[in-house]
Structure 1
Amino acid sequence: MRIAFFAPHKPIDHPLPSGDLIIGRTLHDFLKAQDHKMMIASRFRLRHITGKPLKWPALYLEFRRALNRVKKFNPDLWLTYHSYYKSPDLFGPYISATLGIPYVIYQGVFATKYRRKFKTWPGYMINKNALLNADHVFANKAVDFQNLSRIILPEKLSHTSPGIDTSIFSYCRQSADRIRDKYNLHDKKVILSAAMLREDVKAESISDLIDAFKPVVEEIPEARLIIAGDGEARSRLQKSASYKVGDKIIFLGRIERQEMYKYYSSADFFAYPGINEAFGMVYLEAQCCGLPVLAYSTRGPQEAVAHGETGLLSPQGDIAGLSRNMLKLLKDKDLRERMSKAAPQRIKKNFDLNDNLRCVNIKLEEIISRRDR
């Protein structure tokens, strides 16, 4: 199969890491590993394009280039990763129609609330047009599947959960000992967090976590919070942490994803509040390494974490509740061990990347076969 691949929000080889980027990259790489010929149709970013008229001439020129590029490649199918109101797919529907090939969206998102605002209405309408013109749409979150089912026929809509390579994220005792040696953590209770430290809900989540940790360390002085990640908010958050809890919080800086299993292995549990988190790949990674998870009960954590089974969730903004859950896990070794055992089992059952993407591959082959018939 020859597939023209397009990620309108952010190219999959973009240097800035994110959960969405990881999902898109793993989708592309998985399909390529199945011996499909993959071509990046365009690297042009369509994020907020409807509100940037100065970029429209460049957008038109790139559309023409992408059309010629894809014509030469002669694909069997166009696959767009992640189209929604902020980054609606302006290329896929038209190029697919011009070439007479199936048009498919993976991680389609639809919400009618964006039609009510003048600023978001254009992106909403363009995205809706792309969804309605798709031969098939994959939703990888339960709420997106529910919303999409209002406008997409059942036979054109599939729910496939995001996943991780479970062979990469597993507990490693040797790595745990090395990390604990490096940061003098052997006699400590260790809570790990990980996030991009940018000035938005990511930094807000870490700020809430620091506030929740303050009463915890007052009661359990040997507790330590280590935070992996970097960004423009790091300096501010470090100063805040130092002022509130002294040297009880360690900022690790950016850790490459393939190295994160070592840090998960060194911790007693994982905590990241996840304000407005759409899903959160770190929750899957942490659980796969045997860590219970603490988070807010927002949309993403609710889907990634089984409350009471593999982690504890509390209402968004309830910092006292976050503190209580930290103390509960720090004090209750039996609870930690039960969750630590259940977490990787649940991930391997529901969020195994290879199992989930095999279903996507089968559906794409069915679409091509149906077109050929």
Structure 2
Amino acid sequence: MIVANTAARAGLNQSVKTGVAFYAPLKSPSHPNPSGDRKIARLFIRALEQAGYHVDLASQLRSFDKAGDSLRQQRLIALAKKEARRIMRRWQQKGFTPQAWFTYHLYYKAPDLIGPIICHSLNIPYIVAEASWAEKRASGGWALYHQEVAKGLALASKVICINPVDKLALTAFYAQQPQHDSPLVSLNTFIDDLPNTDKISPSSVISTRTELAEKYDLDSRLPWLITIAMMRSGDKHSSYQQLSSVVDLLQQPYQLLIIGDGVMQAEVQGLFAPYKQVKFAGAVENNQIRQLLPHFELLLWPAINEALGMIFLEAQQAGVAVVAGDQGGVSSIVRNNVTGILVDAYNATDMALAIDNLLLDPAKLKLMQQAAIEYVEQHHSIDASALQIKYVIQDALLDPTSKV
């Protein structure tokens, strides 16, 4: 479980730090199941702490409604009101008052039902990162939650956008609001430093290609490709289906290691059963993944309906070039024809051709791998993002036109 207070662990004097309440309504950073959403929530906490803030994980209430059930939404809205009161009582008992509220990821299936209540009560700025707006949800099963998203966006002093696709819809939303200045702020998706091997169990550290080949039954004489994704129904399974079509078309020799598990694991493994060059590793801890990535040449993923995909940054940071589907915000974290190749996510022929061409041109592939390392270091470091987030919060705290 993540503890959202590095300062407390280090025994530092928190009285000099500005307190920020942090909340992720879709998935708490303390949630036991790994995912990209949990990973980004944790990264925002680290960035906030690196920026000098004392971060309090305000709540772990999950507002997620997958089915569009208005009765469930009503119950969660009522529960959130009680949760807001409970949080403020806890803070009062601790003698803690946050100077700002920071919500990561709200959308029509998981709005922030707590933050706006507390910000009104305490008269503090409401700051949001990675919000999305879908006007078509104004009617239908998520209409009630859609209204809650609108309330949160209207209240927000700052809205940090890390996905350029989301920013388009948010820009249209704020153009219709009776205010002069848009709260939108662009921020590059960011990543922390590579993990320190001293913090990883020695038995799990793989230091050589030979050890990796033995562990996962890979042929060390061939190029190694890798795919890392949960095996869930819906878009993830669709991407795996597309990837199996790509594999069927590849002409060059290779080995592909697939890392991930989930409820669709048997089905995914069945898709690749005819291909002996495809191996499965099951679930692997993120720290271990980032240790083994430098041994691979290419990361493959169709990314069907993928919002961002943090694994693309982690791979590039480790010097792995990318061949992926050009969906969602993927193009904002992979430089096409520089650090990888982006293709139509639904065109298996184009993806297979891109992979084969890179395997046929090791010199070009090597240039992409080096460019990937430099690109992440220059444009997606946590250091630069922490500084920008600090300025965003300072601006919200100093803004005399606060909406709260």
Q: TM-score if structure 2 supplies the norm length?
A: 0.84
Match of 1:98? 121
Match of 1:305? 334
More displaced, 312-321 or 277-286?
312-321
Matched residue type, 1:141: N
What is the number of equivalent residue pairs in this alignment? 366
Which of 64, 69, 74 is equivalent to 2:97?
Answer: 74
Match of 2:318? 289
Matched, 1:335 2:364: yes
Aligned equivalents of 1:227 and 1:191: distance in 2? 9
More displaced, 138-147 or 88-97?
138-147
Match of 1:162? 189
CA change 1:144–1:215 in 2 (3 A) is: closer
Matched, 1:114 2:137: yes
Alignment of 1:224-303 (within 5 A): 224-242=255-273, 244-245=274-275, 247-303=276-332
Alignment of 1:50-61 (within 5 A): 51=69, 53-54=71-72, 55-56=75-76, 57-61=78-82
Partner of 1:61: helix, strand, or coil? Answer: helix
Aligned equivalents of 2:148 and 2:50: distance in 1? 32
Matched residue type, 1:104: I
CA change 1:204–1:123 in 2 (3 A) is: same
- Give the Å deviation of 1:173: 9.8
Unaligned runs of 5+ residues in structure 1 are none
Match of 2:83? 62
Aligned equivalents of 1:260 and 1:173: distance in 2? 10
CA RMSD of aligned residues (A): 2.4
Matched, 1:133 2:132: no
Aligned equivalents of 2:158 and 2:92: distance in 1? 22
More displaced, 66-75 or 124-133?
66-75
- Give the Å deviation of 1:241: 1.1
Residue by residue over 1:242-269, the C-alpha shift from the partner in whole angstroms, topping out at 9 and shown as x without a partner, is: 1x21x21111011111111233112111
CA change 1:47–1:127 in 2 (3 A) is: same
- Give the Å deviation of 1:83: 1.3
CA change 1:357–1:147 in 2 (3 A) is: farther
Unaligned runs of 5+ residues in structure 2 are 1-17, 175-179, 198-204
Match of 1:123? 145
Q: TM-score if structure 1 supplies the norm length?
A: 0.91
Matched residue type, 1:10: K
Partner of 2:28: helix, strand, or coil? Answer: coil
- Give the Å deviation of 1:13: 0.5
- Give the Å deviation of 1:99: 1.2
How much identity, in percent, do the aligned residues show? 25
CA change 1:4–1:276 in 2 (3 A) is: same
- Give the Å deviation of 1:38: 1.9
Aligned equivalents of 2:336 and 2:158: distance in 1? 32
Aligned equivalents of 2:340 and 2:52: distance in 1? 38
| Contact map agreement 2:229 2:260 (CA 8 A) in 1 | yes
Partner of 2:190: helix, strand, or coil? Answer: coil
Aligned equivalents of 2:106 and 2:135: distance in 1? 15
More displaced, 286-295 or 172-181?
172-181
Matched residue type, 2:305: N
Partner of 2:90: helix, strand, or coil? Answer: helix
Residue by residue over 1:299-332, the C-alpha shift from the partner in whole angstroms, topping out at 9 and shown as x without a partner, is: 2322221111111122121111111112111111
| Contact map agreement 2:36 2:310 (CA 8 A) in 1 | yes
| Contact map agreement 2:51 2:386 (CA 8 A) in 1 | no
